[in-house]
Amino acid sequence: MLVDFHCHTVASDGSLEAADLLRAMRARGVSVCSITDHDTVAAYDGRAGGDGSPRLISGVEINTTFAGREVHVLGYGFSLGADSPLRLTMADNLAARRRRVERMVAQLRASGYALELADVLREARGAESLGRPHVAKALVRRGLVRDVERAFRTLLSRGHPGYVASDHIRPHDAIAAIAASGGIAVLAHPGRLGDDALIPELVEAGLAGLEVFYPAHGPGQIAHYRALAKRFGLVMSAGSDFHDVRWNVGGVGIEVDAADLEPFLRRVA
29: nearest Cα among 253, 265, 223: 253
Q: Which fold does the domain 101-156 belong to in CATH?
A: DNA polymerase; domain 1 (1.10.150)
The share of the chain scoring above pLDDT 70, in percent, equals: 97
**Mean per-residue pLDDT of the chain:** 94
What is the CATH code for 2-89+169-268? 3.20.20.140
Q: How confident is the model at residue 38 (pLDDT cuts 50, 70, 90)?
A: very high
Angle between helices 171-180 and 85-110 in degrees, nearest 10: 150
Angle between helices 117-124 and 85-110 in degrees, nearest 10: 140
pLDDT of residue 52: 61
Listed in order, the ranges of the chain carrying CATH 3.20.20.140 are 2-89+169-268
pLDDT digits (tens, 9 = 90+) for 143-159: 999 999 999 999 999 99
Angle between helices 85-110 and 132-141 in degrees, nearest 10: 40
Listed in order, the ranges of the chain carrying CATH 1.10.150.650 are 101-156
Contact yes or no for 185/77 (Cβ under 8 A):
no
pLDDT digits (tens, 9 = 90+) for 166-178: 888 999 999 999 9
pLDDT digits (tens, 9 = 90+) for 120-133: 999 998 888 999 99
CA distance 203 to 234: 8
The answer to whether residue 115 scores a pLDDT higher than 90 is: yes
pLDDT of residue 48: 46
